[in-house]
Amino acid sequence: MQGEIALRPGDLIAGFTDGISEAMNNSEEEWGEEAMLATIKKQFGRCPREIIESVVAEADKFADGAKQHDDMTMIVLTVS
């Protein structure tokens, strides 16, 4: 599928692998996309590096040391 969207200053684009949203804790519960998106929204206006660091930190906090079985990759772009 191909398409176009118009971006404006202040817009944010976040791409991620499912290893972030599917981070699991010791009870085998997933962190989930809703929690990840809530974390991103709280960081809105910060630089991409800070947003990524915050998301990964929150996923790690949720996992609470549980072994993860997938990669955690994320890219954040902001439009200026």
Burial of 40 (0-12, 13-18, 19+ CB in 10 A): buried
Q: In this structure, is residue 3 part of a structural domain? A: no
CA-nearest of 14, 71, 16 to 44 is: 14
Domain that includes residue 69, residue range: 12-78
pLDDT tens per residue across span 47-60: 999 999 999 999 99
Q: In this structure, is residue 37 part of a structural domain? A: yes
Task: Count the domains in the chain.
Answer: 1
Q: In this structure, is residue 26 part of a structural domain? A: yes
Q: Which two tokens stand for residue 19?
A: 């290893």
Q: In this structure, is residue 4 part of a structural domain? A: no
Q: In this structure, is residue 41 part of a structural domain? A: yes
pLDDT tens per residue across span 6-18: 999 999 999 999 9
Q: In this structure, is residue 6 part of a structural domain? A: no
pLDDT at 77: 95
DSSP state for residue 50 in the 8-state scheme: H
